[in-house]
Structure 1
Amino acid sequence: MMPSLFIAHGAPSLALEENAYTEFLQKLGQELPKPKAIVLFSAHWESTTQLVSSVANYETIYDFGGFQPELYQIKYPAQGHEETSAKIQRLFADAGIPVESDSVRGLDHGAWVVLRLLYPNADIPVVALSVNRYLSNEQQYQVGQALATLREQDVLVIGSGGTVHNLRQLNWESAGVDPWATAFDNWLHDKLVSWDTESLFAYDKLAPSAEAAVPTPEHFVPLLLAMGAGDQNKQASLLFKAYQYGNLSLSCWKFD
């Protein structure tokens, strides 16, 4: 059975970097069983109704500004997967989750930065999914849960976001890590490993420095979506953790 993964996508410039995290993601893509398709929730595709891509061939979206010119030359020409897209829409409908198809949108950097590191040849079909920041944390988990059976069909489910993601707090010159960021992530680690969903659904009230770590929820939501997709066995493993710019978390969690 395929795992589900939560992968932090960091800053867009990650696509040009060579560091321990990019090396880890490249190696992870080589070590995982090759999936039939990838289903990816991106923090940078938001909608109030669950959207499921039915694009045949994706354009590469540059949904950022002020970064290196080379970033805007990168292409990730992934193909869609109509069979998996249709299956996802049926699963959501069966779970009572309102869903619509999208046949236009390309892949934003929350998707292609991660996918390019994992699968640089763009040879695995992708179905992109939106996130809805206005659902409760329990509902986010249930959205992921609705897709759990895909993992038995060689489909890799990925949530792309960031556990500590506060652009206003970044220190671009910092080589250290802010204590409040590690305090939040350490709390999160304990709750994920013990599969304490009751606490996780109330992380914004219970976790130390939650307001600083998660000023808006869209980057945290993909963690709950990926966790929900791993609900069958309820096993969480931290595969990588590091920080950039003082507090921007680069972490990868596996749920299997």
Structure 2
Amino acid sequence: MSLLHHTIASLKELPLQEKRMPVLFVGHGSPMNAIDDNEFSLYWEKLGAYLPKPKAILVISAHWLTKGTQVTSGLIQSTIHDFRGFPQALFDVDYSPEGDPKLVHDIQSMITSTAVEESEQWGLDHGSWSVLRRMFPLADIPTVQLSIDYYKQGDYHYHLGRELQTLRDRGVLIVGSGNIVHNLRMVDWGQMGVDNYGFDWAIESNELIKQYVMSRDFNPLKNYLHLGTAVQYAVPTPDHYYPLLYILGATSAKDQLHIFNDKYVGGSLSMSSYLFG
């Protein structure tokens, strides 16, 4: 049985909480996953069909880094093609759902630990739309994106997730998009087509972080640099790691955990993803 069929089968057995939206961390990988059919992108499609349809979506992407915390306030969320060197078909993608002024106001009200500024200049970067266009291809769900304050430590990002947790009771799907193991400088491009190929340090760090997630022991994950040399290789910069902390902050003890797309790409990237609900 393939990974895709195995994880879809286990997903169907996951009893999501009634009247509360799940929260989701997605390893988004290459922008090409937005248009290529592979086991990762096809799983996103199956997941979108399985989940209850959200009233709105809040996404935290590794690709919007700011000083201070910001939220997109445009009435239409423009498609940001924040990459280069890819086929024209990827630049032709337009995924522009409506924004949600009420959700923006709710986010600003809920987050009391810092001011949340509005941004009309940003829209949805590829960390957001590459996943969402596969999950919800009609782009008919109001969506906003929250930035990552790159100058804050892990506890700050986890705490913001805690402050946003009750959005789940209002029908909002909270999505974090990044990659737990993300070291582009060490990618083995010659092995990109090899299934589930990971360096020893990538596997060690991914499994260590997974064990902390599964045991709901989140405090060590806030200070990831203290988790050893392997994790320091896996997370050379925190941009793709911090979205996980928002999602962990938004979980509750009642949530069931489903792990999917738990594979390695090119030696130094992991696609491991988590659904709490």
Residue 214 (structure 2) pairs with residue 193 (structure 1): yes
Q: State TM-score, norm by structure 1.
A: 0.95
Distance 1:17 1:155 in 2: 28
Residue 44 (structure 2) pairs with residue 25 (structure 1): yes
Q: 1:249 matched to which residue of 2? A: 270
Instruction: Give a deviation string over 1:40-92, Cα, whole Å, max 9, x none.
Output: 01111111211011111122111111111211111102110111111111111
Contact 2:260 2:272 in 1 (8 A): yes
Compared CA separation, residues 161 and 9, structure 1 to 2 (3 A): same
Match of 1:81 among 90, 94, 100: 100
Distance 1:87 1:110 in 2: 23
Distance 2:84 2:76 in 1: 24
RMSD: 1.4
Q: 1:159 matched to which residue of 2? A: 176
Residue 154 (structure 2) pairs with residue 140 (structure 1): no
Contact 2:180 2:206 in 1 (8 A): yes
Q: State TM-score, norm by structure 2.
A: 0.88
Q: 2:13 matched to which residue of 1? A: none
Residue 127 (structure 2) pairs with residue 123 (structure 1): no
1:84-99 matches, within 5 Å, as 84-92=103-111, 95-99=112-116
Distance 2:124 2:217 in 1: 33
How far did 1:235 drift? 4.9
Extract unaligned runs of 5+ from structure 1: none
What secondary structure does 1:75 align onto?
A: coil
Distance 1:247 1:30 in 2: 30
Distance 2:86 2:129 in 1: 16
Q: 1:6 matched to which residue of 2? A: 25
Residue 131 (structure 2) pairs with residue 114 (structure 1): yes
Structure 1 window deviating more from structure 2 (46-55 vs 243-252): it is 243-252
Structure 1 window deviating more from structure 2 (229-238 vs 102-111): it is 229-238
- Detail structure 1 runs of 4+ shifted over 3 Å in the superposition: 231-237
Distance 1:80 1:6 in 2: 21
Contact 1:187 1:207 in 2 (8 A): no
Distance 1:79 1:249 in 2: 31
What secondary structure does 2:221 align onto?
A: helix
What secondary structure does 1:215 align onto?
A: coil
Extract unaligned runs of 5+ from structure 2: 1-19
Contact 2:184 2:268 in 1 (8 A): no
How far did 1:211 drift? 1.5
Q: What amino acid maps onto 2:176 in structure 1?
A: G
Identity of aligned residues (%): 39
1:49-88 matches, within 5 Å, as 49-88=68-107
Contact 1:56 1:81 in 2 (8 A): yes
Instruction: Give a deviation string over 1:202-243, Cα, whole Å, max 9, x none.
Output: 221114511211110011000001110114536543233112
How far did 1:255 drift? 2.3
Match of 1:220 among 241, 253, 258: 241
Contact 1:162 1:220 in 2 (8 A): yes
How far did 1:173 drift? 2.1
